[in-house]
Each structure stands twice: as C-alpha cells, then as structure tokens.
Amino acid sequence: MTFDPAPSSISGTPSVVQSLRAHEGRAVPFSVEFNPPRDAAGEARLWRAVREFECMHPAFVSMTYGAGGSTKDRTVRVTGQLARETTLLPVAHLTAVGHSVAELRSLVGAYADSGIRNILVLRGDPPGDPLGEWHRHPEGVEYAEELVRIVRDLGDFHVGVASFPQGHHRSPDLDSDTAFLVAKLRAGAEYSITQMFFEVDHYLRLRDRVAALDPSEGAKPIIPELMPITSLRTVTRAEELCGRPLPASVLERLRRAAGDGPEENKAAVREAGIEIATEMAQRLIAEGAPCLHFITLNFAKATSEVLANLGYGVTPAPARA
C-alpha cells in the first residue's frame, strides 16, 4: 500500500498517514478507538485498555467526542495524557455541533497545547437523538468540509474525516454522499475512517465510488471501522453506531449461537461475534484495506482476540469486568 506523502510535521509528531506508511511491507496496521470515561471507575478501565493496547503497537488510537461537546473536557484532557504519558499516537475527535467558530479554534488550540497534531473532524450528531434534525450553531459551520479548512488553516495539523460505506443517513443518495466525502478530502483531509459496517462489499463500493469521482483523492486511505460483537445486548449499540440495522445474516448467526432457551448462550454469541469480525478483517486485508480500525468500548480483550486470529502475534488481553 503506497500513499502520497502527507505534509511532514513541524512538531515532529507523525501523521496518521505517515504511521501507516511506516508499516509498509509488514502486516496491515491496526488502530483502536477509545471513549472518554464518565467516572473514576471508567477511567481506570480505560487506562487498563490503553496499557494493554500499547503493548500491541497500534498505528494510532482515537478518542471520541460526545454529541454536542458533552465530553469535551474529558476528551481534551485524556487525549493530552495519551500524547504525554504513552508511546501511542493519539487522534482527537472534533465535532461542529453546538460550537461557534471561535470555540472550535479554541479547542484546536487546546489540543495543540497538549501535543495533539492529529484531529479527526466530524460534523457530529445532535445531542440526545443522533438521528434527529441537525442545527448549525448561529456562529458555527454547516459542513465538516468547513471545519477541515479551519483546522488546516490554524497551523501544523493532520486532519482525517468520516466516511460512510452505506451513505450518511442525511445524504439523499450514495452519489451525493460520495461528493461530500471528496469535498472534505479536497479541503485538506488526508484520510477517512468509515462508519462501522458489517458487509465488506459496502466498503469496497465506497472505495470504488471515491476513486471514480476523483482518482487523486481516491488514493488517500479509507480506513474501515470494525466492532467485534460480544453479546446480543451490544447489537443495539452496534446498530446505533453504524446507523443501520445489522444484516439479517449477521443477526441470524448471533441468534443461532444464543440458542432457543430462556438464557442466552453468552459464550457462543461472543465466539460468533469474534468469528464474524475476524472473517471481515481477513477479507478487508485481502482487498487491500490500509488499516483496520476497531471500536473497543474501552476493553482490549475482543479486539486482541481478533488480532490473534489474524496472526498478529498478540496475546489476547484478560477478561475484565
């Protein structure tokens, strides 16, 4: 996998693209997504996962940002700690929801003060109802493309954006959605991370559409996002995160593993979820995906099991409560 060089960092902090390029000739790199902790117990769990993943050497790690900036302070603080206190390459999420341009610039400055030079720009979902009507802040921006330009104009930052294998639910059709993604890439984004999906063909067709619309922007990495499902309870969460119902074949496989009795066969469901994620990852690797990005929910075990199945030479993390 070969990408056009991203601008080198004056600060010495590598970009995501540079980190991916450093893995050329070796196994396809992987990366992981964390969530800001809500309390002390959640923070302890996060840091256990951080240290476990640090031993596995991901290409980068990302820290999400709550709807409407609901986790803004924790996101800035914890992402800064990742930069200062670990060997990991952190990517901070930044959304436009509920923020003026002045506030957005201030947040980017806070990231810079914490040593963060990689930012994933998202327009973001409305607080309370991700599928609800989106409202621009009176002094904010309407589109992620505008936010990409703001971040790039502020200095030495490397910017990624979101992409949607099945199209964003607010886009009228796939062609329009592809045009929005290409506009974000042309504005200065160096790569995209997809919304979670469960059918690899959706990812492949997204890649084809971008390359057909703009071959130069299509050369930029489109990183697929995966989430190993470990229980039927997480199915609802998975559907919320990907914005689409799970494919019937995936649901049937999980329900078959759960069994017909009054009690879910949790071990069997978990095993099926890990198998599904492993099979998807194997095909994505065969199809030339530049990286595998895992939603972890701040646990290392499921992702580490998938990586072990793929032959990455990692020891599965211990189970955590």
- Helix ranges (H only) for the chain are 16-21, 40-54, 72-85, 101-113, 144-153, 174-186, 200-213, 215-218, 233-242, 248-258, 266-286, 301-309
Helix pair angle (266-286, 200-213), 10° resolution: 30
- Residues in CB range of 294: below 8 A, 6 or more apart: 30, 31, 32, 33, 225, 226, 227, 228, 303, 306
Q: Which residues pair with 157 in a beta bridge?
A: none
What type of residue sits at position 266?
K
Q: Residue 106 in 3-state DSSP?
A: helix
- CB of 253 closer than 8 Å to CB of 276: yes
Tally the C-alpha atoms within 13 A of residue 11's C-alpha that lie toward its C-beta: 15
> Which residue out of 24, 33, 252, 279 is catalytically annotated?
33
Q: Which token pair is 295?
A: 């939603």
Annotated active-site residue 33? The verdict is yes
How far is Cα 76 from Cα 95, in angstroms, rounded to an integer?
13
* Residues annotated as part of the active site: 33
